[in-house]
Amino acid sequence: MKKIAFLIIVSILLVFNTCSITGGNNNEDKKTTLTEGTVVYLTGDMFRKAIWDYQKDPKTFSYLGRLPCIVDFYADWCRPCRMVGPILEDLAKEYKGKIVIYKVNTDAEKKLASLFNVRSIPAILMIPKTGKPTMSVGLLPKETYVQAIKDVLKVQK
């Protein structure tokens, strides 16, 4: 019964806390260097070097990173995306040296968003060191992200 209630709440949050990708553009400079404990903003080229070179091997996902990671597909104009930002910044600090958190601007990196079939944002891609990545959509409570880090990424604080 508790699981059903949890799934209903998560579903409601997903419906009310997602943005469809339709436009908006903000060319602010973002942090793109890897510093432990911070969120790293990626371009498509950086994604191919740090996460997966989909041009080299488009059919088989092969994670290139040394630590599990989270990739947040976002847009500056998206309110739920702006709300998930501080949560991910906190998690980057709390899991410093254990996971890496990246952000990909869907307005600037349309091809990359399309590759992962991102239709609503925020879209959070969880990539364990080994195994398949999983995607969640919408703004979720910090506790849900912490649980996903434990369950999907297999990382403890």
Q: Is 124 left (phi over 0), alpha (psi -120 to 50) or beta?
A: beta
Q: Which of 21, 39, 42, 78 is catalytic?
A: 78
Structure tokens at 104: 């990909």
Handedness of CA 59, 64, 68, 70 (dihedral sign): negative
Residue 19 designated active-site: no
Residue 69 designated active-site: no
Q: Which of 40, 81, 92, 127 is catalytic?
A: 81
Q: Is the peptide bond before 122 cis (omega within 30 degrees of 0)?
A: yes
CB 75 within 8 A of CB 123: no
Q: Looking at the annotation, which residues are catalytic? A: 78, 81
